[in-house]
Amino acid sequence: MLRSVAVLVLDRLAVFEFGVLCEVFGLDRSDDGLPVLDYRVCGVEAGTPVSTSGGVQVIPAHGLDGLAGADLVAVPATGLREYPEEALQALRDAEAAGATLLSVCSGVFVLAAAGLLSGRRVATHWHSADELRARHPDVEVDQDVLFVDEGNLITSAGTAAGIDACLHLVRRELGSAVVNGIARRMVVPPQREGGQRQFIDRPVPECSADSLGPVLDWLLGNLDVEHSVADLAKRAAMSERTFARRFAAETGTSPLRWLTRQRVLHARRLLEDTDLSVDAVASRCGFGSATLLRHHFKQVVGVSPADYRRSFHRV
């Protein structure tokens, strides 16, 4: 049961991510029949201002002793990458005492620095995923999801994904009626579909102009027709074996997988910018049928073409 929440705030605090925790856990909604939680904002020292990314300061009412006994200890994003040892120890103590840990966006770096994530699967903002892997190779980073629930550890992707993680935790601990009430007051869905793959823009890999660059450029202009490895190798003036090896070396994947991904990315743009039917989008992108487009789109983006259009259509 979730009764108490302690939020650890450190310098260069991200205002939005901190606000998410305040909004979900810190407001009194008893007029809607919702439970009121014991909510504590904790800094290294009580009353000492914490700097933020938004040009304001946050003054925590509690010191690190406020983490003790909390059912949930939450860490919002911070621009720091080096942290006070006493704060890290307070997190270790809270985890050892049985608290659930929750990070929002780059708050996961704080938990990793405390040594609490070794061998565990976590989420973070896709933009920070490579940095987290480099700093903490013993942590399994999943950059395709909005959040990861590992029981006593919940980590979320960037910014608004923190809302998803927090509401998920409320649902898990307090039930659907409570989470629906909070979401209604926040005017957000109690649960979003898909993952952060749908928000990531994956550019075409750069290739040297004297090798595959011209072939890739030609492919991008001809996504709507069928292509075989033999035809592409001939266009590149290479044997099929050499072409496949060079392609993998320069793009990190096979010709078929690369072509499928580029067709999906083109479909994304058409779903965002046009009113074409899903069948027409499939034809323009070279999938041949809407069924085939739906299959590959869901694999790459994480949601169906129709759901993606509802979220991102610009017309």
What is the rounded CA–CA span in Å between residue 301 and residue 268?
9
CA–centroid distance for 145 within its chain: 5
- The catalytic position among 105, 166, 207, 285 is 105
Query: Alpha-carbon distance 100 to 117, whole Å?
Result: 13
DSSP helix/strand/coil, 153: strand
CA distance 285 to 192: 27
Q: 51 by DSSP, 3-state: which?
A: strand
| Strand duo 57-58 + 50-51: pairing | antiparallel
Burial string for 99-133 (b: 16+ CB within 10 Å, else e) reads: bbbbbbbbbbbbbbbbebbeebebbbbbebbeebe
Is 105 assigned a catalytic role? yes
Catalytic site positions: 105
